[in-house]
Amino acid sequence: MAAIAGERSLPAAFALLGVVAFRQYDLVYRLRYRGTVPPQWVNLVTLGWDGRLVLVWVLLIAGALPAGMYIAAGLLAVVLVGESVTGWRHFERAQRPMLYEDEEEEAA
Q: Residue 84: CB partners within 8 Å, gap ≥ 6?
A: 22, 26, 38
pLDDT at 8: 76
Condensed to tens digits (0 to 9), the pLDDT of residues 56-66 reads 999 989 988 88
Angle at 82 between CA 44 and CA 46, to 5 degrees: 20
Report how far residue 34's alpha carbon sits from residue 36's, in angstroms, rounded to the nearest whole number.
5
Question: In whole numbers, what is the pLDDT of the chain averaged over residues?
Answer: 84
pLDDT at 10: 86
What stretch of H or E contains 92? helix 65-94
Question: pLDDT band for position 9 (50/70/90)?
Answer: confident
pLDDT at 51: 93
CA 35 vs CA 24, 49, 67: distances in Å:
15, 22, 37
pLDDT at 80: 94
